[in-house]
Structure 1
Amino acid sequence: AECLLTPFVFFSVLGALSAAGEVFVAKVGEKVTLKCGVSSYRRSLQWHHGADLLFSVYHIGFPRKGAAELVQRSVVRQTNLEISSVRETDAGRFTCSADGTRHEHTLSLFSVSVSVTPSADLLLGSEATLQCDVKGVIEGCEVKWRSPNVDSPEWSPTAQLKPVTSSHNGTWQCIITCGSNQLSEHLTIKVQGNTQILEMKTPVFHCDQKKNKRVFSFPEPPPTTSTTASLCSSKDSPKTIFAIVCSVLLSYFLL
């Protein structure tokens, strides 16, 4: 029968295996340090990748290097193996032998790609989608977004911003967690918006002498001169003035 392991069981098994060997997690293109499992040795130390010899170090004599391409990007520091510019082909089994005692480890590699649609420059009130694609995730690993907003820090691998707000502005992190190992990829979003506040201006009434009718405008600065015509009269009744103001305001909001 097929046996399905829950994340809790998976991590428990991983912890049990770590007594004999360790699972190292790294992101493609970065540097990773593989720990041998011992801090010192008396006679000899060897590192293998699969069946390929990488390094053979002796207390007496010169160290010997293997012919694998990985050797060109690796160095032994004390008992640990440091690999630079990790490639997908570097994944797999590594064996550290110190004075004849073997310590087998595993290197798992991720390739992480982050993106935002439609672009990293967003407008307030618009919509956007953040995507974190991880290639090579093993069972039990968790992928999530961490936002710059402390009030809602965690999002799913596909984050829907509906609508975009000022709290979305800043650096987002796609975090991959596998047991005690954690990797991240960053994405910066810039939220832009019109922060200008429309100012309500009082309409200024004046008279067009040529057309012999009342007109209004919203000047800035307000006019300093006034003209009169036959339709401009201080005898306008309050009801007439109220009707004109209502008409003006209605026209302003319908523009």
Structure 2
Amino acid sequence: MRTIVWFVFVLCALSASGKVFVAKQGQKTMLECGVSTYSDTLEWNRENDLLCSTPKVQRKYSFPRTGKSDTALRSKIRPETRLEIAGVTMQDAGKFTCKADGKSYQHTLLVVLVSASSSGDLLLGSEVTLKCQVTGMNPDSTVQWKRPDGRSHAGSQAELKSVARSDAGTWNCMFSYDGTTYSESLEIKVQEPKTTAPPPTQKSKDNGKPSCLDCVTHPKPNDALLLGLSWWMWVAIGVGCLLVLLLIVLIVVLRERNKRRKRKFRSMKNGGLPMRPKNYCQCNRPAAAAKPQQGRRREKPSAPPLQPLLME
């Protein structure tokens, strides 16, 4: 009977001890409370600082509360009991306590950061330092690197004096906490440095004459200069002069045209003539018959009298 009681006590202690969560700096992490639901109130704390508290049912004197720390401002309770922390920093590591209906569950958050002193692909023969920073661990915890070939490198830093092709691959940062080993990987890529070809040397065709590397090339006959200017510059100057001449002729023609119009306008104004001929309406009607002349009517001349015929 006593053995059963101790077994139940150990199980309860293990369930209340909580879990260890590992998060990378700058990412988002989710902490589990230890229970999936609650009936009264749920509260999350980091060390002695309140992060957030929410009641199951809104009552008169019960309402959600939020802490004022930097971690509290980036934390919120997700359905239904989990705690979400956005943008994890190295200062967020530590002990977290979840209280559900008066029962506490303590958890640990470890924040790890793996980095290389040189960003991007590493060059053969270059020097680089790999760092593994873990916060929230016990003083007696150990940190070491494991190379891609499986060999161990003691310490949280791995200094590579001359990068080789065998250094390419996945490096694992190994650290232990409460007897459990955790790891965080870092991918390393190695490439050969770019080689620059030497400048070509000019060989001399004539025997006995030294080669000339920094000689001034003489212009070809087609590119001969006239008065210090190339042929295309003379073409541009000619086209420009032609355009200016055409513009001057156009201005003179327009000016003379305006003068003629002004003289015509003044002559028409001084002579009293209408500026423009009037267009009268012309109707297509038959012309009226001529009126008879009034006065004494002219009598027709009377016929001459008949003369008697001469008798023979």
With the length of structure 2 as denominator, give the TM-score of the two structures: 0.45
- d(CA) in 1 for partners of 2:104 and 2:185? 34
Following superposition of structure 1 onto structure 2, how do residues 102-113 of structure 1 map, counting pairs within 5 Å? 102-110=104-112, 112-113=113-114
Decide which of 22, 25, 35 is 1:28's aligned counterpart. Answer: 25
Contact 1:33 1:83 in 2 (8 A): yes
Assess if the C-alpha contact under 8 Å between 1:21 and 1:106 holds in 2: no
* 8 Å CA contact 1:128, 1:164 repeated in 2: yes
> Superposed, which structure 2 residues align to 1:79-118 within 5 Å?
79-110=81-112, 112-116=113-117
Please give the alpha-carbon distance, in whole angstroms, between the structure 1 residues aligned to 2:90 and 2:119: 30
Aligned to 2:171: 172
Tell me which amino acid in the other structure corresponds to 1:71. Answer: A
8 A Cα contact 2:170 2:185, kept in partner: no
Identity of aligned residues (%): 32
Q: 1:75, CA displacement in angstroms?
A: 1.9
Deviation at 1:85, TM superposition (A): 1.2
Aligned counterparts, 1:56-75, within 5 A: 56-61=53-58, 64-69=64-69, 70-75=71-76
> In structure 2, do the counterparts of structure 1 residues 129 and 79 end up closer, same or farther at CA, with 3 Å as the change threshold?
same
Distance 1:29 1:174, change over 3 A: same
Match of 1:44 in 2: 41
Structure with greater proportional strand content: 1
Cα RMSD of the aligned pairs, angstroms, is 3.8
Q: Distance in 1 between matches of 2:180 and 2:144?
A: 16
- Secondary structure in 2 aligned to 1:20? helix
Q: Between Structure 1 and Structure 2, whose CA radius of gyration is higher?
A: 2
Aligned to 2:188: 188
SS at match of 1:75: strand
Inter-partner Cα distance in structure 2 for 1:87 and 1:182: 19
Task: Tell me the CA shift for residue 64 of structure 1.
Answer: 0.5
Give the superposition deviation at 1:36: 1.3
5 Å matches for 1:93-242? Answer: 93-110=95-112, 112-116=113-117, 120-123=121-124, 126=125, 128-134=127-133, 136=135, 137-147=137-147, 149=148, 151-152=149-150, 154-156=152-154, 157-159=156-158, 164-178=163-177, 179-180=179-180, 182-184=182-184, 186-192=186-192
Structure 2 runs not aligned, ≥5 long: 1-11, 196-206, 209-312
Higher relative contact order, structure no. (Cα contacts within 8 Å, ≥ 6 residues apart): 1
